[in-house]
Amino acid sequence: MLIKPIKFKIITFFFSFFVSIFATAQEAFEVNIFVDAEKNIYLEEQKVSMSELLKETKALIYKQPALKYDRLIYNIYADKNLKHGFVMDINHQLLRAMEALKSKTNKYLLEYKNLDLDKANWQLEIKSLKLDAIKD
Q: What is the separation, in whole angstroms, between the first and last Cα of the chain?
A: 59
Q: Tell me the per-residue pLDDT of 71-87, one tens digit each, with 9 for 90 and over.
A: 899 999 998 888 989 99
Q: Which domains does the chain have, with CATH numbers?
A: 27-127 (3.30.420)
Residue 65: predicted pLDDT: 84
- Mean per-residue pLDDT, 101-110: 87
Report field, pTM of the whole predicted structure over 0.85: no
Q: Tell me the per-residue pLDDT of 16-30, one tens digit each, with 9 for 90 and over.
A: 444 444 445 468 899
SS (H, E, C) the chain: CCHHHHHHHHHHHHHHHHHHHHHHCCEEEEEEEEECCCCCEEECCEEECHHHHHHHHHHHHHCCCCCCEEEEEEEEEEECCCCHHHHHHHHHHHHHHCCCCEEEEEEEEECCCCCCCCCCCHHHHHHCCCCCCCCC
